[in-house]
Structure 1
Amino acid sequence: MKPRKRAGEEPPAAVAAAMKKADVVIVPVSYSITHTHAVKDAAAAGARIIVMTDFTPEVMMHGGIEADFDQIKPTCIAVAKALEDANEIHVTSPGGTDLTFKTGGRRGNALYCVVEKGQFSTIPTIEANTTPIEGTAEGVIVCDASIPYLGIGLVDEPVICKVEKGFITDIQGGRAAEILKKDLASHGDKNSYNIAELGIGLNPKCRMCGIMLEDEGVLGTCHIGIGTSLTLGGVTKAPCHYDLIMWHPTIVADGKVIFDKDKPLV
């Protein structure tokens, strides 16, 4: 297919139909189609899906791809279960993040680069994630690591997002903040501002380098996804899905610390 114009854009109907009938789907694309109905529907039909967004030869040879996926699998599953079992999650970071949201009843997703029937995983990131219940997120997100979309990559100044009733209501910062603010406004859709995901990086081999599927897996980080949540267990479809990555978070689920700065505690 022709490259999509932006992350989160649906593939052509013929491609989506082929994905639903396939046993295995490999997705080497320049703009992510992970958060689309096409991927959700293909997984629901039983496909095993491997996502390779924005891959380069370097990513194929070094960094996160060198991890022992089978060895990390049990930890990833345990963190995902801790997220799934929680009713309320509180995320803080040394950079200033202080975000709470409800997640009772939402599934936890373990993405460890090995997929069974009906699953998808992004390579080489290893992460556990979940989706907030719409409208419940409150607080502040401070992204001080990377926004690996829109040509931003590593941030040179923290991006500070105020969150009210499940949506980003204000964005402050330098160059990266202005790019993000302009792009979100261009969609003309409130759902672009939706707090869609908490993802926890668990790959000790991933490097913070400005490439999405490396950055999001870095052990010692978490990311808050904004926009579409439907492929992860939420109900929101937006024109986009972007991740705001921060360093050394502390993540508390129902009063219990499950991740502390650079290590899982489950």
Structure 2
Amino acid sequence: MKKILMARGADKVVSTCVKVKPGEKVLIITEASRLSIAEAIAAAVYRVQAEPILQVMVPRDTDGQEPPAPIAAAMKASDAFISVVGRSITHTHAVKDAIAAGSRGVVLTQFTEDMMIHGGIEADFEAAKTECKAVAAALAGSEEIHLTTAMGTDLYYSAAGRRGNALYCMVDKGEFSTIPTVEANVSPLEGTANGVIVADGSIPYIGIGILDEPVRCIVENGMIVSIEGGRQARMLKADLDSKQDPNVYNVAEMGLGLNPNCRFMGFMLEDEGVYGTAHIGIGTSITLGGTVKAACHYDLIMKDATVTADGKTILKDGKVVL
């Protein structure tokens, strides 16, 4: 039955999000655990008289690991690509190079069959586009951005010269987006972030998911220097330490969730899109406008955020006030 119910979501991904045209070559990258979703999308590609190319790879060892070279080459050669994987390949040279070559792509990381039917996928992406682009424009190039929450987040950084990224689940040539999160984000200038991050929503990686208690991180000169809290904080610290890569502590991104249909469920692209949340991405920033490639990219999500950019309030207690 789910195979039938997923058809509507698959059609939306293909026709609304990627805008696939007849005759186009559409690469669908997946792994065995997501094959049913990938096949539903491939069928939707075929329905619009385009050519689906399905490539199944061994799951990556970690989020942010590059896909195999033949898949990276196929991404560059495609008219469009759709990534349906458990471990993220979003923040990789493969995605960056494919977009630079003129392909367009969307990523459905950690998707489940239920996510293809209900939740963020049901949002009106066209309606969300205007607000998302306005928030991204307000973040872009700001000399000083200040993020706070009632739980104790208090972080300053500069985004001078950096682009704002509006990800609203629809792409044109040379663009990529996540689905179903609708978010506006910016990559801080390396070395400028200072303060405290208190994640109280979710860290949807390495089995952490929805947080039982806050995870507190101290940031100095663009890098996380300590991680405090309970069991889930210890999981995050142990995983980052195991990477043996100092760049995993880089403050790479601040994103603001703008999808009214998303809800916390412990999965990355659903949690990040929850309306009024903020997330701090750590590690790799090369796909967002930064310069750092790390062994991973994780997001620390907090609820009911307040954000100001150069003194102008963008988000107040989880509500857009532009």
Same fold, judged at TM 0.5 (above): yes
CA-to-partner distance for each residue in 1:53-96, whole Å, 9 max, x for gaps? 01111100111011000001000000000011411100000110
Give the 3-state SS of the residue equivalent to 1:77 in structure 2. Answer: helix
- Partner amino acid, structure 1, of 2:204: P
CA distance in 2, matches of 1:221, 1:233: 21
- Partner amino acid, structure 2, of 1:169: V
Structure 1 segments of 4+ aligned residues over 3 angstroms from their partners: none
- Say whether 1:67 aligns with 2:123: yes
In the TM superposition, 1:108-123 aligns within 5 A as: 108-123=164-179
**Structure 2 residue aligned with 1:104:** 160
**Structure 2 residue aligned with 1:168:** 224
Match of 1:6 among 46, 52, 62: 62
Match of 2:267 among 191, 207, 211: 211
- Say whether 1:20 aligns with 2:76: yes
Aligned residues: 266
CA distance in 2, matches of 1:85, 1:104: 4
8 Å CA contact 2:132, 2:184 repeated in 1: yes
- Partner amino acid, structure 1, of 2:234: E
- Say whether 1:88 aligns with 2:139: no
CA distance in 2, matches of 1:59, 1:206: 10
In the TM superposition, 1:138-153 aligns within 5 A as: 138-153=194-209
**Structure 1 residue aligned with 2:113:** 57
CA distance in 1, matches of 2:110, 2:201: 18
CA-to-partner distance for each residue in 1:211-243, whole Å, 9 max, x for gaps? 111000000201000000000000000000000
- Say whether 1:130 aligns with 2:181: no
Q: Tell me which structure has the larger Cα radius of gyration.
A: 2
Aligned Cα root-mean-square deviation (Å): 0.6
How many Å apart are 1:262 and its aligned residue? 2.1
CA-to-partner distance for each residue in 1:152-194, whole Å, 9 max, x for gaps? 0001010000000100000000111000000110111110000
Between 1 and 2, higher relative CO (CA 8 Å, sep ≥ 6) is seen in 1
CA distance in 2, matches of 1:83, 1:231: 17
Structure 1 gaps, min length 5 = none
**Structure 2 residue aligned with 1:76:** 132
- Partner amino acid, structure 1, of 2:136: A
**Structure 1 residue aligned with 2:288:** 232
TM-score normalized by structure 2? 0.82
What is the percentage of aligned positions where both structures have the same residue? 62
Give the 3-state SS of the residue equivalent to 1:54 in structure 2. Answer: coil
